[in-house]
Chains A and B, each alone.
Chain A
Amino acid sequence: MTIATDGAVPPAGTAPTPSRPGTSRRRRNVPTSPARQKLISVASVVGGLLIWELLGRFVVSNSLFLATPLQAMAELARMTASGELQYHVWVSGQEFIYGFLIASIAGIAIGLAMASSRAANAALGPWVAGLYATPIIAIAPLVILWAGIGIWSKVIVVISVVIFPVIINTEAGIRSTDKALVEAIRSFGASRTQLFTKVMLPSALPFILAGLRLGIGRGLIGVVVGELFGARAGVGFVILQSAEVFNMPRLFAGVAVLAAAGIALMALCRAAETKLVPWNRS
């Protein structure tokens, strides 16, 4: 996957409208071959890093404000060698994975409940809509206060930011099932349960996956912000600590780790989508 083909994935919206899967199409009017596109992408990234490196060396040479990519890489190598990096990534990784898994399972379950029961929808709908629109990350300091500076406070923060897009997308996915498909299968005498498992759920799957993908970005932010407000370890903690002592190479090393995690998780998500919803990418 090159960056140039990313237009085919649902937009990462912040509005309570669910991102609609598979509606955008690749533009055809630019006759750039895939190999060329890849080349341009690589050149763009390398060029950007080069400019940054040069700026850091010759323009903003004060190392209290900016570290160059090479300095950050050297710091990363040092931290890896000492095992420090692995430790912090492990802590943050646990916070993210626990939070993300709990939020995914609970979010899908709540979304399904809201889609299949009017009462559940009436009871939960206002909360979900309201909390989704709220920058809920603002409660992070409070969560730290309640749950302490261990990993569980961060898990709670991650859950609170990931769960809402998952609920909303799951519910919208079920609700947007093509009525004609439901009728066609109902005409064979399908029960309500069969309609749900054989039509509505598969039809909602692309939406659910889009919700999970939104959750990845939000979850990473949740981990870092949670750690900024109180932690003993983790990538966000490394960044905060480095900023306090103006250790720029270390700070940028932390940011680079986050960027890498985001890119890797998105790629994983896209691979899962290709595998689970092959019909959605014609």
Chain B
Amino acid sequence: MTDKADTKLQIADLTKSFGSLLALDNLNLDVQAGEFIALVGPSGCGKTTLLRILAGLEEPDLGGIWIDGREVAGPGSDRAVVFQADCLLPWRSVWHNTVIGLEINGRLDARNREYAMSLLELVGLKGFEKYYPWQLSGGMRQRVNLARALAVQPEVLLMDEPFSALDAQTREIMQVELLRIWEQGKKTVLFITHQIDEAVFLADKVVVLGRRPGRIREVLPVTLPRPRPLEIKRTAEFGHLVDTIWNLIEQDVRQSISEENARLEIGAD
């Protein structure tokens, strides 16, 4: 369908199991350069596992990942992760957290410093360089997290439920901010979320994963125009897309919830 030359990230035949538990089963996905992909799916379907393999934190059993046609293994600064939890180093100021990726890769030169500074401005944290994480709100911390990931100028940005710990208002603000920042550089983004409306609002394509073992059930293009204001969430088209996706995973989510409950009950005995 799309030109192979434009493929930024290629995931081929990815399989991963933990002991007898098959987490990912022969997963294939091509992501175009500059594309914003949202990944949704029921809890436990392997989203985080996929992201960890992409980040090089976990080894796949089978299959591989290619970025710009090069196979990648292990962590590297061609990818950067924005994690769900607060993963800032508490003993480093905002500035020193932002540049740690550069520092680790020995790339902390004047030009990259300047770039990191411009990123802090972009995420709205200019003037907070000397602050420590505990002096910031949750939303601000997640902005630093984002700046830290962008600072290494990754080819692909990986995000695992980055806003799930934020309150509803901050979350919406961060969604708008993320889009604004993304429009500036058009990075290739893989964004995991549980919130379908978040996925639709942000993404060019929503990839729906089925219940474990993780397989792609459906890839839905989101044709909403950009830039997208928050009000777009109230349009009929938006609601229709959310409904479609919800219907796709409803059955799976119900099953995985009841499985989880069963597991908890067994654990409680």
Q: Which residues of chain A have a CB within 8 Å of any CB of chain B?
A: 180-181, 183-190, 194, 198-199, 202-203, 205, 277-280, 282
Q: Which residues of chain B have a CB within 8 Å of any CB of chain A?
A: 55-57, 74-77, 79-81, 83, 85, 87, 89-91, 100-101, 103-105, 132-135, 152
Taking the nearest CB of chain B, how far is it from the CB of A22, in angstroms?
A: 10
User: Which one of A185, A202, A277, A280 contacts B104 once the chains associate, using CB atoms below 8 Å?
Assistant: A185
Inter-chain CA distance A190–B76, complex, in Å, is 9
User: 10 smallest A-B Cβ distances: which pairs?
Assistant: A184-B87, A188-B101, A282-B134, A279-B90, A189-B75, A202-B91, A187-B81, A190-B104, A188-B104, A279-B91
**Cross-chain contact A181 with B89 (CB below 8 angstroms):** yes
Residues of chain B contacted by A189 (CB below 8 angstroms)? 56, 74-77, 104-105
Inter-chain CA distance A279–B132, complex, in Å, is 7
Residues of chain B contacted by A277 (CB below 8 angstroms)? 91
Inter-chain CA distance A202–B81, complex, in Å, is 22
**Cross-chain contact B87 with A180 (CB below 8 angstroms):** yes
Residues of chain A contacted by B55 (CB below 8 angstroms)? 187
- Interface core residue of B74, B79, B91, B101 (most chain A CB under 10 Å): B91
Taking the nearest CB of chain B, how far is it from the CB of A276, in angstroms?
A: 9
**Cross-chain contact A188 with B57 (CB below 8 angstroms):** no
Closest to A182 in B: B87
Closest to A190 in B: B104
> Would A199 and B80 be within 8 Å (CB), given that A188-B105, A189-B105 are in contact?
no
- Interface core residue of B75, B79, B132 (most chain A CB under 10 Å): B75
> Would A279 and B83 be within 8 Å (CB), given that A187-B75, A188-B75 are in contact?
no
Inter-chain CA distance A184–B83, complex, in Å, is 8
**Cross-chain contact B100 with A188 (CB below 8 angstroms):** yes
Is the contact region of chain B dominated by helix, strand, or loop, or is it mixed? loop
> Would A184 and B91 be within 8 Å (CB), given that A189-B76, A189-B105, A198-B100 are in contact?
no
**Cross-chain contact A194 with B104 (CB below 8 angstroms):** yes
Residues of chain A contacted by B132 (CB below 8 angstroms)? 278-279
Inter-chain CA distance A180–B81, complex, in Å, is 12
User: Which one of A181, A187, A194, A202 contacts B57 once the chains associate, using CB atoms below 8 Å?
Assistant: A187
Residues of chain B contacted by A282 (CB below 8 angstroms)? 134-135
Residues of chain A contacted by B85 (CB below 8 angstroms)? 180
User: Which one of B56, B87, B89, B152 contacts A202 once the chains associate, using CB atoms below 8 Å?
Assistant: B89
**Cross-chain contact A205 with B56 (CB below 8 angstroms):** no
Inter-chain CA distance A184–B100, complex, in Å, is 11
Residues of chain B contacted by A184 (CB below 8 angstroms)? 81, 83, 87
Taking the nearest CB of chain A, how far is it from the CB of B76, in angstroms?
A: 5
User: Which one of A187, A205, A279 contacts B133 once the chains associate, using CB atoms below 8 Å?
Assistant: A279
Inter-chain CA distance A205–B79, complex, in Å, is 30
Inter-chain CA distance A199–B103, complex, in Å, is 13
Residues of chain A contacted by B79 (CB below 8 angstroms)? 187
Taking the nearest CB of chain B, how far is it from the CB of A277, in angstroms?
A: 7
> Would A185 and B100 be within 8 Å (CB), given that A180-B87, A279-B90, A279-B91 are in contact?
yes
- Interface core residue of A181, A184, A189, A278 (most chain B CB under 10 Å): A184
Closest to B154 in A: A188
Residues of chain A contacted by B77 (CB below 8 angstroms)? 188-189
Inter-chain CA distance A282–B83, complex, in Å, is 23
Residues of chain A contacted by B134 (CB below 8 angstroms)? 279, 282
Taking the nearest CB of chain B, how far is it from the CB of A182, in angstroms?
A: 10
**Cross-chain contact A187 with B56 (CB below 8 angstroms):** yes
Residues of chain A contacted by B80 (CB below 8 angstroms)? 187-188
Inter-chain CA distance A185–B89, complex, in Å, is 9
